[in-house]
Amino acid sequence: MSAEDDVEMHEEQPIEDVEDTESSDEEEEDDETEDEDEEVPENQRQAYIPGLSRPLKNGEELDFDPSAYKVFHSFNSDWPCLSFDVVKDGLGDNRVQFPAECYIVSGTQADKPRDNEIIVMGLKNLSTMRKQKENKGDDSDTSEDESEDEDEEESKKREPKMHAVSIPHFGGINRIRADRLGDSTVCACWSDQGRVQVWNITDALNYSHGMSGESKTEVQKVDRPLFTNNGSGKEGYGLAWSSLKTGDLATGDIIKKIYLWQMKEGGQWAVGANPLTGHKKSVEDLSWSPTETGLLSSCSADGSIKLWDTRSNPKDACVCTVQKAHESDVNVISWNRHENLIVSGGDDGELKVWSLKTIQFGQPVAVFKYHNGPITSVEWHPDETTTFMASGEDDQTTMWDIATEADGQTNIDGVPPQLMFVHMGQKEVKEVHWHPQIPGLAINTSIDGFNVFKTINI
């Protein structure tokens, strides 16, 4: 991303409804083209359920129902971002007022290693769907040119903005995670060049916060990262900061090893010489317990989930193994902040919930089969104990409430009653996160950009 390039925030439509724009089978193509922009009557619209609804006919298209969202915005970067993280800010917790402001950090996957970046993004003026409608000037009572110019100028001021700071980074970023260390904010990056680096992004955040005007990106030159570990020289994806012990970091690579980091004085880390071993294939994801210091979970392409007591000697650290947690690769894992529950997602498209009370028996407490492709990301809601979000290679982002029970009057055949919401309209969704300070605000990244949204039922 260059200093001259603006990053545009715009409204992008997630898929929700099917619009039937055919008036008859005998219609000519030219007539269909002329009519395709006409508004479809409400009684001709149908809910579209991926995998269950019939294929689209000629002239039909998918559109979304704005009334299903309280907030929806989308934005893009020059290169797709495989991973991002929400940065906790100083604007307060439990923020429910809009327009909202939030900050994320992401890592790019550019065509050439030298073109990659760490991007610190300030997303500002995130208004509600109702406010967006008002800002578009649906009330057109004024006809005078001067008043129209003033309205347009005021409307532009209220538009969502992205003020970004990019830090050049050599190599594509497989995974990025942010953490607060004292007065500084840092991010750890797993590079496809086979190294893990820790970067101080405090100045970039402060600069982004102070930016104003139109959406734009500015380049910040950072001499070097705080810390670099080349490890085995092989790349990886497992990356997690401990929420209980400041500066503790775990990394997992494609050659089956998990390394534990401990922060020392002077912005340095000591990386354990003896890794945690036991997985038979690549370590895909890591998640620390939010309630018990030193307890770490891992999942692997070997189909297993393991729990580790990192306070023990590495050779004795594994305290539990679920050998066939999924039919094939276990891609992602997330630990519930309030209950001893773990959710996992695999190449089999299944989502499984595990309780620490019974995980040693290899039996999940819940299994959800809805996605039609491998699961790419999962995360528990930071406040709602029974709610989590997931994404899959079927281009869907889903929201679930495991406490919901079947109701014969409202359930849809083939759809689990615990499925609360399906968000579509993106290709190859890679990662999802809840905002920890803005209840219900969800963010995801895909090959074609980021979506920021809040639904009416979460």
Q: How far is CA 41 from CA 20, 44, 138, in A?
A: 9, 5, 20
pLDDT digits (tens, 9 = 90+) for 191-204: 999 999 999 999 99
pLDDT at 408: 65
Local structure of 359: helix, strand or coil: helix
* Cα angle, residue 376 at apex, residues 245 and 310 outer, rounded to 5°: 25
Mean pLDDT computed over 376-380: 98
Q: How far apart are CA 104 and CA 123, in angstroms?
A: 8
Lowest-confidence pick of 87-96, 341-350, 401-410: 401-410
Q: How far apart are CA 251 and CA 77, in angstroms?
A: 27
Q: Which residue has the tokens 């809040």?
A: 454
* Cα angle, residue 162 at apex, residues 157 and 163 outer, rounded to 5°: 100
Element containing residue 387 per DSSP (H, E): strand 387-392
Residue 266 has pLDDT above 70, yes or no: yes
pLDDT at 136: 60
Kindly indicate the confidence band of residue 349, based on its pLDDT and cuts at 50, 70 and 90.
very high
The neighbouring-strand residues paired with 454 are 71
CB 318 within 8 A of CB 306: yes
Lowest-confidence pick of 28-42, 224-238, 332-346: 28-42
Kindly indicate the confidence band of residue 130, based on its pLDDT and cuts at 50, 70 and 90.
confident
Kindly indicate the confidence band of residue 211, based on its pLDDT and cuts at 50, 70 and 90.
very high
The neighbouring-strand residues paired with 318 are 308
Torsion-angle region of residue 290: left (phi > 0), alpha (psi -120 to 50) or beta? alpha
Q: Which residue has the tokens 């000037």?
A: 137
pLDDT at 25: 44
Element containing residue 79 per DSSP (H, E): none
Could you say which DSSP state residue 22 is in? -
Q: How far is CA 254 from CA 58, 194, 231, 285, 347, in A?
A: 45, 10, 12, 11, 16
- Return the number of other C-beta atoms located less than 10 Å from residue 198's C-beta: 22
CB 344 within 8 A of CB 326: yes
Lowest-confidence pick of 119-123, 139-143, 301-305, 360-364: 139-143
Element containing residue 130 per DSSP (H, E): helix 129-135
Q: Which of 454, 457, 453, 455 is nearest to 410 (CA)?
A: 457
- Here the tokens at position 136 are 């578009």
Q: Look over the chain and give the mean of its residue pLDDT values, rounded to a whole number.
A: 87
Q: What's the residue count for the chain?
A: 458
Sheet-wide strand order for 173-181:
173-181, 184-191, 196-200, 227-229
Mean pLDDT computed over 360-389: 97
pLDDT at 173: 98
